[in-house]
Structure 1
Amino acid sequence: MSDEPLIARLAHHLQRPVPEFVRTRARLHLLDWLACVAGARGSEIGEIIRRADLDTTYRAAWLGSVLEMDDVHRSALLHPGPVIWSAVLIAGAEVGAALSAVLDGAVQGYESMIAVGSTLDALHYSHFHNTATTGPFGSAAAAGSVYELSACQLLAAMGNAASTTGGLWQFRAEQVMTKFWHTATASSNGKFAAYMAKFGMTGPAAILEGPQGLYAATCRDPKPLVLGDGWRIEEVSFKPWAACRHAHPAIDCALELRAAGRVTPPFHVETYADALTFCDRPDPVTETDAKFSLQHAVAVIADGRDATPADFTPEAIAALALLRAQVSVAEDPEITARYPAHFGARVNGLELQDCRGDPERPVGEAEIVAKMHMLAAWGGLPASEADRAAELALRGDDAAAVVTMLEEWLA
């Protein structure tokens, strides 16, 4: 057993029955992703993919991460939802699958993506966008489940999908749209690899640990592949606020201070090193800059706002300049030592180790439905469409109806 290739172990691990309570959890993640897609309809990237005349269902793969409100796994440092859901819904539409089968596929996709992502080291994350690197494993597993691939076929699908994986962080240094390219291609590549595996396409089994595999190429000290009894979708966090996940701990602390009547400048933020690497931007210019700015995030809360998409627009950037100038940031080594198991921060002495939406501080159906309504309105959809999405995702078993709804939203 110890000589079995890692993705062979993973392929066998995925072919377990999914319990109903885990399927119910997947419904929340489906609705959360639908909310993110709805809110991004009118974005610049949304207009680009319309002009490109892409297939309407495939368009959704480009939109799930635009608002920075997509679900996130902390220790694997990746966002499964934007990659998994489009792939599994497209596959489901091809074979006429019920939503229950799509949900099971999504659970397996989350499992695959997170299991692989949890093995990647800090060197990998310093250069590679983990969502893009691991996404093809997840979309191949999700689509492969819907296609009812054998363990051997699934191994081939993940091996081929992973053989073309990548996702360099260089886009962070430039005002470009590459992040959405990453999620869309990770979604489509894995799905297509699963489709081809149905017809006998073979793929490399040692794509992770082989001498020319992913670890050798991108890691210094990969961690062991851990396959437990549960399903790791239950470890995934929801994002209440429209900012980079690394800014959420500071937002949460600022909200606690505001609730206590103590949100008074100046503000000093102490947090982990990666939060500074990604989000130390005292002078944001664009909407993306603002979503990746600890300084702006704290200013948003200090101004009485709630960190919705409207709070990161150019108008908000201009309005909050004076407050933003009163926010300083620094690393706290103790908070860094707890990361990435815990995304923590301290603002003006108030410290939190985990954020709202994390498994330790969970949100429930009511909060996700409210997020659906908020983002549907931001994306120009009526409240009736938010209700429709909630009903289909949380209580329906008609995957085709979900696809039809997306096609109407994105036509």
Structure 2
Amino acid sequence: MPEPTANLLGEFIAGTTFAGLPGSVADKAKRHLLDTLGAALAGARTPETTRITATLTAPTTTGAAIWGTGLLASPRDAALANGVAAHALELDDTGGCDHSGAVVVPAALAALSLTDRVVSGAELLVAIVVGYDLARRALEGCGGYQEHNQAGWHSTGTCGPFGSAAAAARILALAPEQCSAAVGFAASMSGGLWAFVHNGALSKRLHAGRAAEAGVTAAALAGSGTSGPVHALDDVWGGFLNTFAPETAQHSALTDGLGEQWRIQRCAIKPHASCRGTHSAIDAVAQLMRDHDLHADEIREVRVRLSPFLADMCSGRDTRTLGTAQLSLPYAVSAQIAYGTADLSAYSPQRRSDERVRAIMDCVSLDVDASMPASAEPIIDLITEDGSHPCQVTDPLGSPANPIGDDALIAKFRSLAAVPEPTIGRLVDTVMRLDELPDARQLLEHLV
């Protein structure tokens, strides 16, 4: 058989250096690290995360921190708990596996507890970057987000293990052949279905945690010398792509531009506490209301023209649970109209059941346009007594083409991280100068 694709990826994981990263890539990794930590510190406080953590993890006296709780657990358990927390409120980043931060960052930091060697801050950034790379490449190998999603797979769970395995393997300084084995193990730990969309089930959050846990497990097994299925990413029977994406697989996407085109550059940071599919619509409503000086009581109807793909994912109107509300485009635009924001406060139980926002939702109509490609952003039309006000935002706030600035990023972090102000300041400072730290464990001191 030809050389396994996993071998090329293993060499990439083991051989990438901080000096070889473009400055913009390292800087973006810092920002996604900070954003993920903020989302996780907020998510750790939710009843859902607390319940999952209590059910699936066992507290220990040594090990890795479950961030923001004061608890320690085995590295695998900590990766699971922190992954669930990071994805708990839909505020973690997107555009990777899809939610790479909630998978890669918990695995990388948990792996620090599996090694006695000193891991510099620069090395941690490399681990994060290669993790984001493999997570996204796995998804692109499946044909892309829309294709994989339409098949019923939740890509955070199916493609995330490759990213977490890469990050953990790099932290453990595994040899190239061991990194290849870790990638192979990751393929056997993939899974995650979109069935949660029908009732807002918490399995969506669990997918991020299990993917993070899988990566730590994969790297640990590979480091122990256990042989992994290194042909799992090849065009073979039983291979990952042939099994998960038999009609859409793009094997070349796994390695095209490897080490030259950095996939973290394709990821977005979320300013709104909802599914990324709703963000363009939220931004369009905000822009129209600002440009035309509109008030909520002036809007008679909201017409949304959207693709079948987006309609399948985000057309629901059930706001009884946080999960279903965050996947609802009608609620997202109604919240923006009613409250002037779609941040976390707009998704509180009180606001989700507010009669005012329910009345606006009744005026939202969805026109599913079969001619619109799956990747097309929706067209929003606010109808008032003065007429029609259409708008389509092609690059929603937080996307690579329309990034949020550092001030907004830090403000988001401060709003989420429920820790004392001195700790917030130290976390921000530590992350933003991470490449200067001789020991990445200095970051962990602020996360207990």
Name the TM-score, length of structure 2 as normaliser.
Answer: 0.83
1:384 counterpart residue number: 422
1:372 counterpart residue number: 413
Residue from 324, 337, 357 that aligns with 2:398: 357
1:289 counterpart residue number: 324
Cα deviation digits, residues 242-276 of structure 1 (max 9, x gap)? 00111111111111112112463311112232221
1:103 counterpart residue number: 125
Code of the aligned partner of 1:216: N
Aligned equivalents of 2:16, 2:122: Cα separation in 1: 15
Residue from 25, 28, 31 that aligns with 2:31: 28
CA contact under 8 A between 2:114 and 2:172: conserved in structure 1? no
Deviation at 1:184, TM superposition (A): 1.1
2:350 counterpart residue number: 315
Cα deviation digits, residues 339-392 of structure 1 (max 9, x gap)? 43xx5121112112121111111123222101101112xxx4344333222112
Code of the aligned partner of 1:124: H
Cα deviation digits, residues 294-353 of structure 1 (max 9, x gap)? 11100111113311111012211121111111111223345x42x43xx51211121121
Deviation at 1:180, TM superposition (A): 2.1
Deviation at 1:90, TM superposition (A): 1.3
Aligned equivalents of 1:230, 1:404: Cα separation in 2: 33
Alignment of 1:7-406 (within 5 A): 7-14=6-13, 15-18=15-18, 19=21, 21=23, 22-49=25-52, 51-52=54-55, 54-55=58-59, 56-57=65-66, 58=78, 59-73=81-95, 78-95=98-115, 96-121=118-143, 124-125=148-149, 126-208=151-233, 209-219=235-245, 220-226=247-253, 227-228=256-257, 229-260=260-291, 261-262=293-294, 264-319=299-354, 320-333=357-370, 336-337=372-373, 339-340=374-375, 344-348=377-381, 349-376=390-417, 380-396=418-434, 397=437, 398-406=439-447
Deviation at 1:11, TM superposition (A): 2.3
What secondary structure does 2:342 align onto? coil
Code of the aligned partner of 1:322: A
Cα deviation digits, residues 52-83 of structure 1 (max 9, x gap)? 4545331322201111111111xx66110000
CA contact under 8 A between 1:253 and 1:345: conserved in structure 2? no
CA contact under 8 A between 2:97 and 2:138: conserved in structure 1? no
What secondary structure does 1:406 align onto? coil
CA contact under 8 A between 2:339 and 2:346: conserved in structure 1? no
> Residues 9, 34 of structure 1: CA spacing in aligned structure 2 closer, same or farther, 3 A cutoff?
same
Aligned equivalents of 1:127, 1:65: Cα separation in 2: 19
Aligned equivalents of 1:288, 1:13: Cα separation in 2: 37
Worse-superposed segment, 315-324 or 237-246? 315-324
Aligned equivalents of 2:53, 2:193: Cα separation in 1: 26
Deviation at 1:5, TM superposition (A): 2.4
Structure with larger Rg: 2
CA contact under 8 A between 2:286 and 2:340: conserved in structure 1? no
> Residues 92, 332 of structure 1: CA spacing in aligned structure 2 closer, same or farther, 3 A cutoff?
same
Cα deviation digits, residues 141-196 of structure 1 (max 9, x gap)? 00111111222111111101211211122222234321222111111111121122
Aligned equivalents of 1:289, 1:164: Cα separation in 2: 27
Deviation at 1:50, TM superposition (A): 5.2
Code of the aligned partner of 1:329: L
2:73 counterpart residue number: none
> Residues 329, 386 of structure 1: CA spacing in aligned structure 2 closer, same or farther, 3 A cutoff?
farther
Aligned equivalents of 2:157, 2:141: Cα separation in 1: 15
CA contact under 8 A between 1:6 and 1:225: conserved in structure 2? no
Code of the aligned partner of 2:415: M
Code of the aligned partner of 2:17: P
What secondary structure does 1:328 align onto? strand
Code of the aligned partner of 1:363: I
Code of the aligned partner of 2:352: I
Q: Which runs of 5+ in 1 are unaligned?
A: none
Q: Which runs of 5+ in 2 are unaligned?
A: 60-64, 67-77, 382-389
Code of the aligned partner of 1:218: F
> Residues 141, 245 of structure 1: CA spacing in aligned structure 2 closer, same or farther, 3 A cutoff?
same
Code of the aligned partner of 2:35: D
What secondary structure does 1:207 align onto? coil
Aligned equivalents of 2:45, 2:300: Cα separation in 1: 35
Provide the aligned C-alpha RMSD in A: 2.0
Name the TM-score, length of structure 1 as normaliser.
Answer: 0.91
Aligned equivalents of 1:143, 1:198: Cα separation in 2: 10
Code of the aligned partner of 2:392: E
Worse-superposed segment, 34-43 or 380-389? 380-389
CA contact under 8 A between 2:127 and 2:168: conserved in structure 1? yes
Aligned equivalents of 1:85, 1:92: Cα separation in 2: 11
Aligned equivalents of 2:441, 2:12: Cα separation in 1: 28
2:2 counterpart residue number: 3
Worse-superposed segment, 118-127 or 251-260? 118-127
The alignment of Structure 1 onto Structure 2 pairs a total of residues equal to: 397
Aligned equivalents of 1:50, 1:63: Cα separation in 2: 9
What secondary structure does 1:267 align onto? strand
Aligned equivalents of 2:397, 2:200: Cα separation in 1: 29
